[in-house]
Amino acid sequence: MEERQIFNEMLNEQGEPREPYRALLQWLESQPPGILKKKTREAETIFRRLGITFAVYGTNEATERLIPFDIIPRIISASEWRRLSAGIDQRVRALNAFLHDIYHRQEIIRAGRIPADLVIQNEAFLPEMIGFTPARKVYAHIIGTDIVRVGENEFYVLEDNTRTPSGVSYMLENRETMMRMFPELFRLNRVAPIDQYPDCLKDTLKSVAPDGVDDPTVCVLTPGIFNSAYFEHAFLADTMGAQLVEGRDLFVDNGKVWMRTTRKPEQVHVIYRRIDDAFLDPLTFRPDSMLGVPGLFDAYRAGNVTICNAPGTGIADDKAVYAYVPDIIEFYTGQKPILNNVPTWNCAKPDDLAYVLDNLAELVVKEVHGSGGYGMLIGPTATKRELSEFAKRLAANPKNYIAQPTLALSACPTHVASGIAPRHVDLRPYVLIGDKVRITPGGLTRVALRKGSLVVNSSQGGGTKDTWVLED
């Protein structure tokens, strides 16, 4: 991809406001100076008091931190959203079909559309899942599709996040905070509501309960209060009216999963788990896991409990499999993908590796199993030394990396020390898949607060914005 201008979501090339931002810009211009600073402080106080924090691993600072919140919303028009949501819908259905296939007949491998090694030898492929069919054939019930924009009508999917995507509580709390602080903006704009998300989540989880259970008991399984996303786990359990449990609160007896209550054990039918596959069940996976429930996987395979997302979904958001998602979509839906994939070099292939090593300074290189922005290289902003050190690591273990062109992420108006300035953003819409596909309008916009930075991860100093989808 060639060097090109950064797409500004609020202003066109002539510096005039684009349609979705017109009302907001007018309002901003009518505000007294200093108001944004004051409102930002107000928002921070609200977030801190509510305990909307996350933990950053590997720092010595306080274990709980606030994610910076930018009070200027990101706005998406109704027509843009129709296209995005159609593309997301297509993608998540195809990924679920892919998961069902590779754990059963593996037609896509037989058809030669994806290399067998890439799937079977993949760390994220779970042989324990072979031959097992979860309720409604749904594997990934909750997906956060990471999308970036580079032009007027140009959107790319960066990652599919089919394991345990986080951040939806920020999406919801950001909206609550904006509505509390700027009620007049919601009168000036027709913003699609998002507060139905917890109900949709609960309906989705209930819809995939084991067969024959009329009134399923749903719980949220958390690693506990020291986990970085604990706030979110508690928030979701609370807003759904579900129990928030830790592994030690559950046990398996007679092939069924039970909660340890104050008196008689209570059976659990659906577990929205926020712990990784490896920790789910020490008897099947990591024997040293203190977070999981011994015997859980057997109860799952016996069809007595549904685990959401299913174990083994990581194969669908593996960064090496990612390159094949367009093929996956065509294979299972017979349609062309609506949303673009970012061109990806798979460093396991010698030709790709050679290209990547030659062009390291222009590329973004990611670890195949990495997440959270840890262990990645952004060529254009890296120093010579960082580049040469990374090249060594890459050459030593090429299978561990993929590379992509550095995308010119679109920019949105953002409140910074000097006033309002454009900063790069991405978007994570949240999708629920059960008896039907439910997509909440908008999603979480993450913003790179440092000038010129392309890294939006909260663990790397990124912030968030409320995201509006306007209704027609």
Partner 1 sequence: MLGRTAASLFWTLRYNERAENMARLLEVAYRIAMTPRFGSDAMDDWRSTLVSAGCLDAFEAKGGELSQRAAINFLLFDRDNPSSVRTCVELARNNARSVRTAITSEMWESINTTYIEMMEVKPQHMTDDKLPGFLSWVKQRAMLFRGALLGTLMRNEGYYFSQLGTFVERADNTARILDVKYWILLPDNEVIGGSLDTYQWSTILRSVSANRSYRHAYRDSSLKAFNVAEFLILRKEMPRSLAYCYDWIEESMEDLTDVYRERLPSYDMAVATHKLLTDRKMSEVFQYGLHEFLSDFISRNNGLSLQLSADYNFA
Residues contributing to the site for partner 1 (CB under 8 A): 48-51, 62, 224-225, 230, 234-235, 237-238, 242-246, 248-249, 259-263
Measured from the CB atom, is 53 or 333 closer to partner 1? 53
- Least Å from the CB of residue 225 to partner 1: 5
User: Whole-angstrom Cα distance, residue 4 to residue 145?
Assistant: 25
Taking the complex as a whole, how short is the minimal distance between the CB of residue 218 and partner 1, in angstroms? 12
| Distance, CA of 281 to CA of 304 (rounded, Å) | 15
CA 307 to chain centre: 18
Name the residue nearer to partner 1 (CB basis): 249 or 330.
Answer: 249
Q: How far is the CB of 275 from partner 1 (least distance, A)?
A: 15
Instruction: Compare residues 187 and 263 and give the one whose CB is closer to partner 1.
Output: 263
The full DSSP string for 364-381 is EEEETT--TTTT-EEGGG
DSSP-assigned states of every residue in 297-351: HHHHHTTS-EEESPTTGGGGG-HHHHTTHHHHHHHHHSS--SSEEPP-EETTSHH
> Cβ 376 to partner 1, closest distance in Å?
32
CB 222, min distance to partner 1, A: 9
Nearer to partner 1, 60 or 153 (CB): 60
Our CB check for partner 1 shows the closer of 67 and 448 to be 67
User: Cα separation of 91 and 83, whole Å?
Assistant: 12
- Contact call for residues 53 and 66 (beta carbons, < 8 A): yes
Token representation of residue 389 = 């050190």
Closer residue to partner 1 in complex, CB, 243/406? 243
Smallest gap, in angstroms, from Cβ of residue 65 to partner 1? 12
In 90-222, beta strands by DSSP E: 142-144, 146-151, 154-159, 218-221
Q: Where are the beta strands (DSSP E) in 55-205?
A: 65-66, 69-76, 142-144, 146-151, 154-159
**What is the DSSP pairing of strand 53-54 with strand 65-66?**
antiparallel
CA distance linking residue 444 with residue 464, whole number of Å: 7
Nearer to partner 1, 224 or 405 (CB): 224
Shortest CB 235 distance to partner 1, Å = 8
Work out how close the CB of 312 gets to partner 1 at its nearest, in angstroms, rounded to a whole number.
28
Q: CB–CB of 76/88 below 8 Å?
A: no
Question: Taking CA 90 as the corner, what is the angle to CA 6 and CA 164, rounded to the nearest 5 degrees?
Answer: 80
Q: Which is nearer to partner 1, 169 or 204 (CB)?
A: 169
